[in-house]
Amino acid sequence: MEQFAIVIPAYKPEEPCKHTIEEAISAGFSRIIVVNDGSGPAYEDFFSELEKIPEVTLLRHAINQGKGRALKTVFHYILNHRLPIEAIITADADGQHLVSDMVKIANELEASPNHVVLGARDFTQPGIPFRSRFGNRFTRLLFRLSTGADLTDTQTGLRGIPVKFLPRLLDVLGERFEYEMNMLAALKKNYIPVSEVTIETVYLDDNKSSHFQPLRDSYHIYKIFLFYGLSGAASFGLDIALFWLFVQLLRDESPEAFIIIATVAARILSSLFNYYINRNKVFKQGSKKSLLRYYILAAFIMGASAASVHFLYAEWLGRGEVILKVMVDTILFIFGFIAQRAWVFRKE
């Protein structure tokens, strides 16, 4: 196990953290890197005891900066000191990652040295806390929609990462829990292969030791979907406002065509606004072909919406056209997100 380092970001850890480190050393891991992420004076004795262990390297943050920043601190340390290791295995400080599973990760890294290896929990088992079961399913769905990658456990903290990938992962945005999700998306974008190994699902005291803050950290994880929705809403509002403005300007000048002209002009300008926001603020990437692809997609969605509502209205219900329109456009809204992420604003 000498070619691997165990990495543990720790914020206000308890005794299970120390037990995990001792067990990891007993299993043959000879290098443990722990980050005291601003736990405060009350935890100095705890970390001082860890620092006495020869196999432990202790790094410190003066204030709490988040799990993502703690991981980046370790990445910098490993690269700057050119540590003679092949890969790291990240683990949480709450004792919920078993050393036996760390050994599984190490074995898979040896078998697949060019892969990032994820420890995947089985959320179908009985006894899983509801917030964890629901959070995993919801996050898996959104992650698959946003990246196209289908992973069993997108929130796992037990990960094996070859050192050669650390420079690219230092460029990934995020300072707290969202960094782990952003890291997975970056693996997909950079064509870094991923393997999964099944690990034990352990929750101590209903996962009360977790420092995950549902509102704050969920916002950071899901903000791309929020921004996409806000971009669409803002573009819709701009379209209506511009339509009203052009109607006022053109009503007397072109009484026979002012509705059509106002509709087309407003849609062109609002779509350009939507394109700019999605490229620069939502997906933050694109190519010279992005604008053409955007309008091809827009034309397809407009045609699909009209055709779908017409077909369903005429052949199926014969009523409820507004409800049908809402249902169809909701599906196309999700489709539009997937298409923009995977095709329109694809990194090339």
Q: How far apart are CA 333 and CA 330, in angstroms?
A: 5
Q: How far, in Å, are 102, 104, 114 from residue 109 at the CA level?
A: 11, 9, 8
Do the Cβ atoms of 147 and 185 come closer than 8 Å?
Answer: yes
The number of beta carbons lying within 10 Å of the beta carbon of residue 83 is: 15
Q: Which CATH class is domain 4-212?
A: alpha beta
Across the chain, mean pLDDT equals: 87
**N- to C-terminal Cα distance for the chain?**
38
Per-range mean pLDDT, top range of 143-157, 186-200, 202-216, 253-267: 186-200
Alpha helix locations (H) across 148-213? 166-169, 178-189
Residue 207 identity? N
122 alpha carbon, distance to own chain's centre: 20
How, if at all, do strands 87-90 and 4-10 pair? parallel
Q: Which two tokens stand for residue 199?
A: 């690990």
Spatial separation of the C-alpha atoms in residues 123 and 270, rounded to whole Å:
43
CA-based R_g, the chain, Å: 25
pLDDT number for residue 47: 97
Pure H helices in 201-257: 214-250
Apex 15 CA angle, 24 and 95, nearest 5: 55
Quote the pLDDT of residue 310: 72
Say which residue, 172 or 32, is predicted with more confidence.
32
Of 130-144, 192-206, 261-275, 297-311, the range with the lowest mean pLDDT is 130-144
What is the pLDDT at residue 254? Answer: 84
| Six-digit token string for 269 | 């300008």
Q: Which of residues 10 and 321 earns the better pLDDT score?
A: 10
Helix (H, G, I), strand (E, B) or coil at 236: helix
Specify the 3-state DSSP secondary structure of 334. helix
* Domain segments of the chain as ranges: 4-212, 222-343
Residue pair 34/50 in contact by the 8 Å Cβ criterion: yes
Give the three-state DSSP class for 88: strand
58: left (phi over 0), alpha (psi -120 to 50) or beta: beta
Average pLDDT for residues 140-161, to the nearest whole number? 84
pLDDT tens, 52-98? 999 999 999 999 999 999 999 999 999 999 999 999 999 999 988 99
- Which helix (DSSP H) or strand (DSSP E) does residue 121 occupy? strand 116-121
- Which residues, at least 6 apart from 34, have a Cβ–Cβ distance to it below 8 Å? 8, 10, 21, 47, 50, 56, 57, 58, 59, 93
- Between residues 253 and 274, the one the model is more confident about: 274
Tens-digit pLDDT profile for residues 187-216: 988 889 999 999 988 765 555 545 445 445
CA–CA separation, 46 and 320 (whole Å): 65
Q: Which helix (H) or strand (E) holds 302?
A: helix 290-312
H or E element: which one contains 5? strand 4-10
Position 214 scores a pLDDT of 47
The pLDDT assigned to 220 comes to 57
Q: What is the pLDDT of residue 211?
A: 47
The sign of the dihedral angle between the CA atoms of 20, 21, 25, 29 is positive
Does residue 157 contact residue 93 with C-beta atoms inside 8 Å?
Answer: no
Residue 296: CB atoms within 10 A of its CB come to 14
Per residue in 112-136, pLDDT (tens digit) is 999 999 999 888 777 777 767 777 7
